[in-house]
Structure 1
Amino acid sequence: MNEVKRTAQARSGGKVLADAMVAQGVTHAFCVPGESYLDLLDGLYSVRNQLQLITCRFEAGAVHMAEAHGKLTGKPGVAIVTRGPGACHAAIGVHVAMQDSTPLVLLVGQIPVEETDRESFQEVDYRRMFSPIAKWVTQIDDAKRIPEIIAHAFDIATSGRPGPVVIAISEEMQKHQVTVPDIGPAEVFPPHPAPEAMARLRDMLATAERPLAILGGSGWTAEGRKAIAKFLVAHDLPVCVSFRRQSLFDGTHANFVGDLGVGADAGLVAHAREADLILAIGTRLGEPVSQGYTLFDFAGAQPIIHVHPEQSEIGRVHRPALGIPCDLNAFAEAANAMAPVASTAWSGWRETLRASRLKQAEAPDYEGPLNLARALQALEKALPDDTIFTTDAGNFATWPTRFMHLKDGQDFLGPTNGAMGYGVPSAIGAKIVHPNRTVICFVGDGGFLMTGQEIATAFHHAVNPIILVFNNQMYGTIRMYQERTYPNRVSGTALTNPDFAKFIEAFGGHGEIVEATDELVPAVQRALASGKPAIVEIRTNPEQVTNRVTISDLRASAGGTATPAPRIPAPRRTTPRPR
């Protein structure tokens, strides 16, 4: 627990704010500076030996970095932005934190209180703006209340279903001199599952023949993940993960059967329909997991045991046979301590699901010199066992999900709300949290040019993530839907890109271009050996719009002419590729 400073000395509101963050254990804050919080910046200068301020280039990037910090640490990531445009830019990161259930605290500079409701320069009512996408939105106008409100914000961000809190800080409040003590975090024991609920779970498991466990949610500790894995393996349960939660279970283990999310294997979806018991642990059973709310019966015809830290999420859409509201790690410990079911009737069922997973992870013979599936499988074997992966949103993201298997000890961060522009900032945030671990980012050409300028933050703060840019010169996901509905009528989805390797070289980083299968692993190894922030541009075949279908396939199935998409020449390098 942090040692809380008790002082009788008057301090400015900006200094009290900085001290309040330190009292809550904040080690990093991600910001784009603004005149609306100059006094907080001055307060942060006074605690610079306790709290590192990370200067970013765009507010969305700053909040994505803070959100990645929250995912990896389980403590609220902190971002600070200025009023008006700064807050609007930051909103997408708040939405990511909400749908990903990530603890986050966003501080937003605000206009002077006396100018409220005059449509003052950059005035926004943040309670109205953020209330649909945050757990709590408030404003501090009285400097004496700073410690109280900050402490409460951190409690809210981490309690129940974790999520974002937004706090507006009025400009003149930061200048006021007040005498007020700091408030540290409270010691709160997490809610445990009711013993009778665990007994009921055991009875339901004992009578099942085709059970399926789905792991999801946030707030898992290393101990919690280990305990839930022991429970699931001891009962030989087939285990899948929810959308972009690959690090919750060892993908190389015989009990892992895939992920239920966007681009899920049709075989797994079919098996999920056949299951006679769903053990949903942590997941909200939201739209991606439920395949657009079509996979499970709303009224509960298919028995569901739903374990979630927020009771209001249990039965929100799908009526469970048993709901267990509790802390996920507490549930994991209780489940692991439970006397195992004496005999199970589903060993063959689990083997069938595992075989289906391995079959769909086999690399097809894709056309062209780059077989991305085989390249990624080779990369999987070459990376350290504690690698952190981050991903942006887009069709490219389904390639590593399908063809790679995360190991126990690796981490995977991705936006479950499908936010493009997440990958690069989250990789930088991850590298700041764990500077000694390898961080690999998967991002498309579209997403990279939304927030790729944040690579400057990596150089500024001396961290070196490796960014893999999948370049097919289009907004691939939208093009896929476009070709399904309006074949051959390409509108708004083609892109013109730079030479991404030269982009990073302009900063003094390491750039590579990959155009063939056997080039990816050596390129990444050279990038790692450089010790610099690096981009490996992977020039993919635009005709192969997903890992399962081509544009010609989509056009043919939509009744159009099965003609391949024209390939726009990518920029050519004037200097040879690094070798």
Structure 2
Amino acid sequence: MSNAVTPTRNGGQILIQQLRQHGARRVFLVPGESYLPCIDALNEHRDAIEPIVCRQESGAGYMAEAYGKLTNEPGICFVTRGPGATNASIAVHTAYQDSTPMILFIGQVGNDFIEREAFQEIDYRRMFGPMAKWVAQIDDTARIPEFIARAYSVATSGRPGPVVLALPEDTLWGEACVADVEPRQRLHSYPSQQQLRELQQHLERAEKPFLLLGGSGWTEQAQMDIAAFAERYALPVGVAWRRLECFNQHHENFVGHVGSGMHQALREQLKSCDLIITLGTRLGEPTTEGYSWIESPVPSQTLVHIYPDPEELGHVYRPDLAINADVVGFSASLGELAPEITPAWKQATATARRAYLDTLIPLEAPGRLSLDKVTRTVDRLLNGKGCITVGAGNYALYAHRYIQFGGLGSSLAPTVGAMGYGLPAAISSKLEHPQRPAICFAGDGCFQMNLQELGVALQYRLGIVILVFNNGMWGTIRAHQENDFPGREIALTFTNPKFDSLIKAYGGHGEIVEDDASFEAAFNRALAFTEQEHLPALIELRYDADGIAPGERLSAIRATALESQKYSNDTGEL
């Protein structure tokens, strides 16, 4: 702790100064009277901290979470008590399952009113306990620097994640003469020499290895180190579900996106592997397709699991070699590992690469507008630049399949499957990287969950492009409904506004595209508008709703389900 003489300050001033000490450059907030001293203290840091005034707390939280993904530093979000906190909770859950560093500050009733169910009072320890790494309430103004320093440490160490701090009004209005706490140096965890030797031995014995990357905390150097390792060993490389930014997909060793929606050749490759090396990923349900291609608790493949949290190692899968290390520390330790001869599987890796490239060829789609071709056009025009964001829904499968993501910052996608994420994430990306394109893929339902954040794009003049996939229904649920209750569609359709008119109310540019021939020119116009005017553009994609996912049709799902029901009835099976 610094010994510098400090003046008497109120709690808000102490807290905002401490955020500056720890490198916060931007805070996302929906203002509330419960933390007014913090808002006022931002006046003293206009040169260092940019406040982003959001329209609803879920949008603010998503923006902070996306900031954490983009920077590996905690995204900072301020919300007011009660309703503000409950609105922001979806972003905390996202940060928890996505292993994203984030700190949510919540205004709280004063300690003189606590435990009386005062206006908007909630026990945040009980509310956020299961979905945050640490939840606390700062009851002493003089201890604010201590709590902030600990929050940064907890949010970024081991498996990164969210921290929630409640701020009673008397703590913020109270005064104290207390020194600031300097930030600690980021620590990385490394494998031992013995573990590296064991990894090398596993590689020497393998015939069909696979390297699976995921998780958070990646840096450009770590990605270069892991790419060099993959090249030396000619390893096929995949990325975990919605961790599309963890490896440059233009690299010759990249063979696909692992998890829900992956192509069949990759699925069969994973099942037949004799060695799976997983770095940074928990091997969660979507990545493993319901724990199917790799079985729990004892996989048929030899499993090397590298993860920064020792409690995760052995939690779901029993690894043959468990290494407690983060992606930066582990990747930096691989420089001395190299095969003595050309790996026998080199040709198999090349074959897997060709199978992946084949998946980039657009599949057939019904109607005049092919979402497959639309997404390939986006990929070609962006040419590896910018960031693609998605929320949740079958529409996201088009980006997952057809975009070749270029590494860090190229994708923002919630592994928790949270709807309404894409627009706030695109805004956060554009704030962080103003010169890069930010493209939001959004279903018509997903977009409307947070479309009010267009006001942020207007206010801060952010030139993002939004592609709204308009099929007038909750498409993912409709696909499940047709599979489980074929021909009994109900309660899944909705009437949409004119999205092209809506964006114009926010100062933006809007178009409707209904056929393949019109899209490329419309997308170029949208990009040009965002670059020139620094305001949002939106393209509404109207397409045949029967095309529910790449290569899949609702009518086929229904027909298959009806045939299955007929077979069950004919045979008497339950």
Residue 6 of structure 1 corresponds to 4
Residue 556 of structure 2 corresponds to 553
Tell me which moved more, 257-266 or 126-135: 257-266
Match of 2:109 among 101, 108, 111: 111
Residues 236 and 501 (structure 1 numbering): CA distance in 2 closer, same or farther, change over 3 Å? same
Query: What amino acid maps onto 1:461 in structure 2?
Result: Y
Q: What 5-or-longer segments of structure 1 have no aligned partner?
A: 563-579
Superposed, which structure 2 residues align to 1:142-541 within 5 Å? 142-297=140-295, 298-408=297-407, 411-531=410-530, 532-541=535-544
Q: Check the 8 A contact 1:14/1:42 in 2, yes or no.
A: yes
Query: Partner of 2:547: helix, strand, or coil?
Result: coil
Instruction: Give the C-alpha shift of residue 8 in structure 1.
Output: 2.7
Residue 51 of structure 1 corresponds to 49
Query: What amino acid maps onto 2:365 in structure 1?
Result: Y
Query: Partner of 1:149: helix, strand, or coil?
Result: helix
Instruction: Give the C-alpha shift of residue 430 in structure 1.
Output: 0.9
**In the TM superposition, what whole-angstrom CA distance separates every residue of 1:428-485 from its partner, at most 9, and x where no partner exists?**
0111111111111111000100001101011111211111111111111000000001
Q: Check the 8 A contact 2:482/2:557 in 1, yes or no.
A: yes
- Normalising by structure 2, we get a TM-score of 0.95
Residues 410 and 40 (structure 1 numbering): CA distance in 2 closer, same or farther, change over 3 Å? closer
Q: Check the 8 A contact 1:487/1:560 in 2, yes or no.
A: no
Q: Check the 8 A contact 2:363/2:551 in 1, yes or no.
A: no
Tell me which moved more, 15-24 or 186-195: 186-195
Q: What 5-or-longer segments of structure 2 have no aligned partner?
A: 566-574
CA distance in structure 2 between the aligned counterparts of 1:341 and 1:128, rounded to whole angstroms: 55
**In the TM superposition, what whole-angstrom CA distance separates every residue of 1:284-327 from its partner, at most 9, and x where no partner exists?**
01111111112213224311110111111111101101011112
| Identity across the alignment (%) | 42
Tell me which moved more, 129-138 or 538-547: 538-547
CA RMSD of aligned residues (A): 1.7
Residues 412 and 5 (structure 1 numbering): CA distance in 2 closer, same or farther, change over 3 Å? farther
CA distance in structure 2 between the aligned counterparts of 1:4 and 1:370, rounded to whole angstroms: 62
Tell me which moved more, 358-367 or 148-157: 358-367
CA distance in structure 2 between the aligned counterparts of 1:92 and 1:459, rounded to whole angstroms: 24
**In the TM superposition, what whole-angstrom CA distance separates every residue of 1:396-425 from its partner, at most 9, and x where no partner exists?**
000121122123566111000000000000
CA distance in structure 2 between the aligned counterparts of 1:248 and 1:188, rounded to whole angstroms: 20
Q: Check the 8 A contact 1:384/1:438 in 2, yes or no.
A: no
Q: Check the 8 A contact 1:239/1:256 in 2, yes or no.
A: yes
Residues 268 and 385 (structure 1 numbering): CA distance in 2 closer, same or farther, change over 3 Å? closer
**In the TM superposition, what whole-angstrom CA distance separates every residue of 1:104-159 from its partner, at most 9, and x where no partner exists?**
00000001112111111101000000010000000001000000000000000000
Query: Partner of 2:112: helix, strand, or coil?
Result: helix
CA distance in structure 2 between the aligned counterparts of 1:119 and 1:296, rounded to whole angstroms: 48
CA distance in structure 2 between the aligned counterparts of 1:196 and 1:149, rounded to whole angstroms: 38
Tell me which moved more, 416-425 or 397-406: 397-406
Query: What amino acid maps onto 1:551 in structure 2?
Result: L
Q: Check the 8 A contact 1:76/1:105 in 2, yes or no.
A: yes
Instruction: Give the C-alpha shift of residue 561 in structure 1.
Output: 12
CA distance in structure 2 between the aligned counterparts of 1:195 and 1:342, rounded to whole angstroms: 22
Q: Does 1:68 align with 2:66?
A: yes
Residue 570 of structure 1 corresponds to none
Instruction: Give the C-alpha shift of residue 252 in structure 1.
Output: 2.3
Tell me which moved more, 37-46 or 402-411: 402-411
CA distance in structure 2 between the aligned counterparts of 1:468 and 1:370, rounded to whole angstroms: 13
Query: What amino acid maps onto 1:552 in structure 2?
Result: S
Instruction: Give the C-alpha shift of residue 341 in structure 1.
Output: 4.6
**In the TM superposition, what whole-angstrom CA distance separates every residue of 1:225-271 from its partner, at most 9, and x where no partner exists?**
11111111221111110011112112223211111122122221121
CA distance in structure 2 between the aligned counterparts of 1:57 and 1:293, rounded to whole angstroms: 39
Q: Check the 8 A contact 1:205/1:341 in 2, yes or no.
A: no
Instruction: Give the C-alpha shift of residue 374 in structure 1.
Output: 1.8
Q: Check the 8 A contact 1:235/1:341 in 2, yes or no.
A: no
Residue 572 of structure 2 corresponds to none
Instruction: Give the C-alpha shift of residue 347 in structure 1.
Output: 1.8
Residues 370 and 432 (structure 1 numbering): CA distance in 2 closer, same or farther, change over 3 Å? same
- Normalising by structure 1, we get a TM-score of 0.94
Query: Partner of 2:221: helix, strand, or coil?
Result: helix
Query: Partner of 1:337: helix, strand, or coil?
Result: coil
Query: Partner of 2:78: helix, strand, or coil?
Result: strand
Query: Partner of 1:150: helix, strand, or coil?
Result: helix
Q: Check the 8 A contact 1:386/1:409 in 2, yes or no.
A: no
Residues 404 and 32 (structure 1 numbering): CA distance in 2 closer, same or farther, change over 3 Å? same
Residue 573 of structure 1 corresponds to none
Instruction: Give the C-alpha shift of residue 352 in structure 1.
Output: 3.0
Query: Partner of 1:213: helix, strand, or coil?
Result: strand
Residue 80 of structure 1 corresponds to 78
